[in-house]
A and B are shown apart, each in its own frame.
Chain A
Amino acid sequence: MIAELGHFALILALCLAFTQALIPLAGTIANKPLWIGTARPLSCGQFVFVAISFACLVTVFLQDDFSVAYVANNSNSLLPSYYKVSAVWGAHEGSLLLWALILAGWTLAVALFSRALPGDMVARVLSVMGMIAVGFYLFMLLTSNPFERLLPFPPMDGKDLNPLLQDVGLIIHPPMLYMGYVGFSVAFAFAVAALLAGRMDSAWARWTRPWTNAAWSFLTVGIFLGSWWAYYELGWGGWWFWDPVENASLMPWLAGTALMHSLAVSEKRGLFRSWTLLLAILAFSLSLLGTFLVRSGVLTSVHAFATDPTRGVFILAFLGVVIGGSLLLFALRSSSLGATASFNWLSREAGLLLNNVLLVVMLAMILLGTLYPLVADVLGWGKISVGPPYFNFFFVPLGLLLVLAMGVGASLQWKRQANGSLQRLLKAPLLASPVLAVLWLMLAGWSLKIASLLGLTAALWLILFTLQDIWKKSDHSQGRSTGLGRLKPSYWGMVIAHLGIAVLAIGITLTSNYSDQRDVRLVTNERIQVAGYSFLFKGVEQVRGPNYIAQQSSFDVFTSVEGVYLKPFTTLKPEKRRYLATGNVMTEADIDGGLFRDLYVALGEPLGDRAWSVRVYVKPFIRWIWLGAFMIALGGVIAVLDKRYRKTPVNVTRGNVTQPSVDQKSAPKSALAHAKKGN
């Protein structure tokens, strides 16, 4: 009964989304305030029904209703109840419903927090979001209904959730990632609305910025949770594999990062307008592409659990309509938005242009590396895989360049950097960063390598530039504390995110250059020494979990002081689990984490005679990778809090915007006229 209720609620949500896609937009064209006014209530209604539908799916999971096919395939009566909830988005159908719920959530948020926006703008934005929602509801109802029943012979028990997904990280990773993916739909809808209206100014950029920042922060958190999960759950000890699914989430992130920076120029200086719109379209298109890559099963990858060609064709068609339609609109309309203002080559605008070029180049090379094997397969050029060396070959030098440019660029002034001031700006970081990098490596007792020196120098360069900039900007006649207090949240957001990049770069550099990793055969009571730590293998015993049986080993870890082992300072208990429902075997690594190093032990397989193959890693500074990612996301959130985004925009309200009675068709022309007047 509950499953049917969920199904009906989903159909009703589709109907509301359909109305939302048509009526308000028609209102802006036919100039009917009443139609325009339906946008907000329809968004609320759509959210309510999709939320009901989602709640129904959660309920059938909690009730172990195995007559519902999706529950039978992805849950089990032995599964702990929190995993039953997360199993809702453990596979294709449920994760689509989650996607739709989040889309409705963002739509609702736009409807609620857009009081300062002109009504016709809101109507266009919500209509575009309604169109996207229609696509997803249709996809779900036509090809992947989560409420389908297995009648009249429901199974006795479910097949269980994939053991890889039975993990705390995976409870929150997909929702966060989807918050990011779907969040870019807001920037996309704003861009399409601007193209429809033929109007795009700095007020538009100011409206779009907080939404983009919020979505981007969620995506950042989503990606780093995924990386963290891969680190401790997959049992390989790596944190990034250049796996196509990881790339699928990194591409919209790069486009989103470029978009945020390009929006800054569009807001402050009115430049790069068409480019900003294009990036907004690109970021969301890549989010959809990510969904397509992951969900259509075209990839040979650890993550792609769903396989069904009809779905792939549907998503591909949907992708074609969304990307093709928006790009067509862009081609037709963007010329009327062009800005002709120019900028100096030594200015913040130029710095941000460099940022955009670098990010887009990185994006292009990931896109090529990810899609090339698929294209080659389709065209029959053979089965090809593009490995990490290709990605590292580009990403490392480009990333290094980006970090170096970031330091200088963020310190430059808008319009034009005063002559001679650049030298003054460069002096301290240029001298100090390489010296500090060498000192750091020598004090830590690590060998000097070119790769690590370059990485550390770039990171320290960025930190020094950022600190120098804070120092300069906080200069105030009433003392430095007043000056610091005057700095805006959007500035602090940028500072924290940039420092986060530096922390991330330090983590990547040190971890990839100075990790010690061994795969060894160990017999009970045998020791292994790795990077100054001694691991004593104490043997394996059997333990029982809620839905699995595990071989649990224990390792005492010692630090040796002049060759003498004192008491063990910690005991690690990695496991090998066999899940009862599927018989799947899973490696459960155990990690002693720390700010400066992680000790990582994973069990391989039993080799007989009480011997096991064991993987022991000592990874310095690996936590800095996720700490940095967290700072980046935090920076994005802090920037959203800037009061500037909440002020009622006074200068935006122009005649045809506040009074819907004026003919809307004249809007493009008047905007064009306005742009011409402006120059």
Chain B
Amino acid sequence: MKPERKQRLLVVVFIVVVTGLVVGLLSYALRENINLFYTPSQVAAGEAPTHQQIRVGGMVVADSFERASDSLDSTFLVSDGSATLLIRYSGILPDLFAEDEAAVATGSLGADGVFVAQQVLAKHDEEYTPPEVADAMQQAIDKKAATEAAQQVESKALNTPEATY
């Protein structure tokens, strides 16, 4: 083999090895470090893992926000319209955090079903709602509509025989 060819081959082998290594590490790191988003309904249904970093979000329920009198510990409920989730957080909340507004929290779900947040994000301008929360709300609304429709059908089905008699 010509020395030039050999060098080119070495370069290619080097690049392939490095790329392989990187891809392996990347997929490992991605698996370890991605945070999945769950809605309060999913948490209520037991779909969310406990003691693992995840994100949850929804609308902060009115009058649910409580702050301890001697520390920065606080608790509040978030809702997607069909279920609520209790979030505990210690620290300073963002400027735009407010009741009846959307919020997304990163943290982990305890075995007691309380979500302990390390970070709370609120929407960052007047018109903006985090897409996750908007989606979750929409899903909840759809689900509600679907169950109501199903209930109506069911009740109709139950009612009709009576009506015929």
Contacts and interface: CB of A to CB of B under 8 A. Distances in A.
Interface of A: 162, 164, 235, 300, 302, 305, 307, 340, 342-343, 353, 357, 361, 364-365, 368-369, 372-373, 382-387, 389-390, 393-394, 519-521, 576, 582-587, 602, 604-605, 607, 613, 615
Chain A binding surface, main DSSP class: mixed
A520 B18 contact: no
Interface string B6-21: 0100010011001000
Interface of B: 3-4, 7, 11, 14-15, 18, 22, 25-26, 29-30, 32-37, 53, 55, 67, 70-72, 90-93, 95-96, 106, 124-126, 128, 130-132, 135
A666 B94 CA distance: 65
Chain B binding surface, main DSSP class: mixed
B72 A584 contact: no
Contact of A584 (B25, B26, B32, B125): B125
A335 to B, nearest CB: 14
B22 A365 contact: yes
B92 A604 contact: yes
A519 B72 contact: yes
Given A300-B132, A357-B18, A369 B30 contact: yes
B55 A521 contact: no
A87 to B, nearest CB: 15
A302 B95 contact: no
Nearest to B127: A307
A607 B67 contact: yes
Given A368-B30, A372-B30, A584 B96 contact: yes
Contacts of A340: 4
Nearest to B125: A162
A390 B135 contact: no
B33 A387 contact: yes
Contact of A587 (B33, B37, B95): B95
24 contacts: A300-B130, A361-B18, A365-B26, A382-B36, A383-B36, A383-B132, A383-B135, A385-B35, A385-B106, A387-B34, A387-B35, A390-B32, A390-B33, A390-B34, A394-B26, A394-B29, A519-B91, A521-B70, A576-B95, A585-B95, A602-B92, A604-B72, A604-B93, A615-B92
A164 B91 CA distance: 22
Contacts of A302: 124
B151 to A, nearest CB: 28
Nearest to B130: A300
A389 B33 contact: yes
Which 8 A/B pairs are nearest by Cβ-Cβ distance?
Answer: A383-B37, A604-B92, A390-B33, A585-B95, A342-B4, A389-B33, A519-B91, A393-B29
A677 B165 CA distance: 103
A393 B7 contact: no
Nearest to B91: A519
Given A357-B18, A383-B135, A521-B70, A582 B95 contact: no
